[in-house]
């Protein structure tokens, strides 16, 4: 877990650098893959050469990606910790009982709209009341991912720069994994491009 804002800043900087290294390696692999499309190779040769490019790229980026994933996990742990701490600190006498009683008549799904509004007007006391009412609902689990996501976003905003850094560290990891996945899907595209067209199949007969 990242212990303070200084560690989070350093982690974000290292995350950006490692993601840039992986993107550079992926770009080189894509250039090599594109070059295969212009060579007169049969499907088996294409597969062998693509596999070699893939394996070499994975070998080059393996340790770097491991560090990226580690930082993302540390950021997620830190985020959970600071959000939990934030709500614990705010739970002292912040409940408005009259408002809580009023919310008892509101359908659970509508509580999401209430929460969205209270976040916009920054009414922390009423947000606390709404949290208690929501968690007591029998059907709250159905809406929990959306509800908790809004609460987490609100708490991160209250944490200022630290919360924003933690989000960026995780998003960088997600974006990099998407880039890697896109590279791995390139083999299927090349294989399809090497398949003879219906016209070529007719001519071959």
Q: What is the pLDDT of residue 157?
A: 85
> For residue 200, is it within any domain?
no
| Domain span including residue 191 | 5-195
Residue 202 lies in a domain: no
72-108 in b/e form (b: 16+ CB < 10 A) is bebbeebbeebbeebbeebeeebbeeebbeebeeeeb
> What DSSP letter does each residue of 40-76 carry, written as one string?
---HHHHHHHHHHHHHHHHHHHHHHHHHHHHHHHHHH
Other residues' Cβ atoms within 10 Å of the Cβ of residue 141: 11
What integer pLDDT is reported at residue 85 of this predicted model? 85
145 occurs within a structural domain = yes
Query: CA 159, CA 93: separation in Å to the nearest integer?
Result: 21
- The series of mean pLDDT values per 10 residues for the chain, 205 residues long, is 86 96 93 81 81 90 96 93 82 69 90 94 89 92 94 86 91 94 69 49 43
20 in any annotated domain: yes
Q: What is the pLDDT of residue 24?
A: 95
For 81, 96, 111, 194, the CA distances from 132, given in Å and listed in that order, are 20, 10, 11, 60
How many CB atoms sit inside 10 A of residue 189's CB? 11
Domain contains 21: yes
Q: How many domains does the chain have?
A: 1
CB 143 within 8 A of CB 109: yes
| Listed residue (33, 19, 7, 41) closest to 180, CA to CA | 19
Return d(Cα 17, Cα 186) in angstroms, integer. Answer: 25
Residue 45 lies in a domain: yes
Measure the CA–CA gap between 136 and 101, rounded to whole angstroms. 12
Within a domain: residue 46? Answer: yes
Q: Give pTM, 2 decimals.
A: 0.75
The whole-angstrom distance between residue 136's C-alpha and the CA centroid of its chain comes to 30
The answer to whether residue 204 is domain-embedded is no
């Amino acid at each position: 877990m990242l212990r303070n804002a200084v560690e989070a800043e350093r982690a974000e900087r290292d995350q950006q650098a490692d993601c840039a290294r992986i993107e550079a390696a992926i770009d080189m692999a894509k250039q090599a893959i594109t070059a295969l499309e212009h060579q007169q190779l049969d499907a088996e040769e294409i597969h062998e050469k693509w596999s070699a490019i893939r394996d070499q790229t994975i070998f080059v980026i393996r340790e770097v990606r491991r560090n990226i994933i580690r930082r993302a996990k540390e950021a997620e742990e830190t985020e959970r910790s600071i959000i939990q701490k934030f709500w614990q600190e705010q739970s002292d006498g912040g409940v408005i009982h009259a408002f809580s009683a009023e919310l008892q008549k509101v359908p659970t799904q509508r509580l999401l709209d209430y929460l969205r509004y209270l976040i916009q007007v920054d009414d922390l006391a009423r947000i606390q009341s709404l949290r208690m009412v929501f968690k007591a609902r029998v059907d709250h689990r159905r809406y929990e991912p959306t509800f908790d996501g809004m609460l987490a976003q609100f708490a991160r905003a209250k944490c200022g720069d630290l919360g924003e850094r933690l989000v960026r560290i995780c998003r960088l990891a997600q974006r990099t994994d998407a880039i890697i996945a896109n590279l791995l899907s390139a083999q299927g595209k090349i294989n399809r491009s090497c398949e003879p067209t219906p016209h070529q199949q007719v001519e071959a007969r």
